[in-house]
């Protein structure tokens, strides 16, 4: 989870400096679309002793991709830039929100906040790049979150708590049974 925060913090200068550059915004969104789910999956691989989280991640990803691609084939909605015909829903946004939703459901909301911020930026980047309408991004976000909520259960293996007291800071990690 710390890695997720670190990656998003490292990308912030690119986002801020690229505000006037649509291509930089689009590329940052493209990178975050892949990084957010990758962080969710790698956290599962490194934290957990069994394959349950990996299976849940794969089910969430597969259902997300099937639903998103099926809707694209059915709706055949033209993109704002005029290209045909895969605008609805946003695949980039659905994958980013699937990763954020997985982190949220598996490890708790407090670890998912940076992921949701990054996923929101992915949606923004798709609209800014003239690839999607706002409703495409909202639908993609909903599909991504719902696919993770449906297949993912909370992980009970490790509890992490942060404490501060009179200038002393500590982190406690304990295995839950």
Selected residue with higher pLDDT from 50 and 94: 94
How large is the average pLDDT for residues 66-87? Answer: 95
Residue of 86, 105, 174 whose CA lies nearest to 144 = 105
Residues in contact with 105: Cβ distance below 8 Å, sequence separation at least 6, in sequence order: 148, 149, 152, 153, 154
**Count of domains for the chain:** 1
CA–CA distance, 151 with 136 (Å, rounded to integer): 23
- Residue 125 forms part of a structural domain: yes
Q: What is the model's pLDDT at position 11?
A: 54
Domain containing 85 equals: 2-11+22-175
CA–CA distance, 127 with 141 (Å, rounded to integer): 13
Neighbours of 111 (CB within 10 A): 20
- Residue 57 forms part of a structural domain: yes
- Residue 16 forms part of a structural domain: no
| Residue found by looking up tokens 């639903």 in the block | 67
| Residue found by looking up tokens 């295995």 in the block | 175
- Residue 30 forms part of a structural domain: yes
């Amino acid at each position: 989870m710390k890695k997720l925060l670190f990656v998003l913090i490292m990308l912030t200068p690119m986002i801020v400096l690229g505000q006037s550059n649509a291509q930089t915004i689009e590329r940052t969104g493209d990178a975050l679309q892949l990084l957010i789910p990758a962080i969710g999956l790698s956290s599962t691989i490194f934290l957990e002793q069994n394959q349950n989280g990996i299976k849940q991640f794969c089910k969430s990803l597969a259902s997300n991709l099937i639903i998103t691609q099926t809707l694209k084939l059915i709706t055949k909605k033209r993109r704002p830039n005029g290209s045909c015909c895969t605008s609805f829903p946003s695949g980039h946004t659905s994958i980013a929100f699937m990763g954020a939703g997985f982190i949220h459901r598996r490890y708790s909301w407090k670890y998912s906040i940076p992921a949701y911020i990054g996923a929101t930026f992915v949606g923004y980047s798709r609209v800014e790049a003239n690839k999607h309408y706002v409703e495409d991004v909202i639908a993609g976000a909903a599909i991504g979150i719902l696919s993770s909520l449906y297949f993912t259960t909370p992980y009970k293996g490790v509890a992490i708590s942060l404490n501060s007291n009179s200038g002393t800071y500590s982190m406690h990690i304990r295995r839950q049974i």
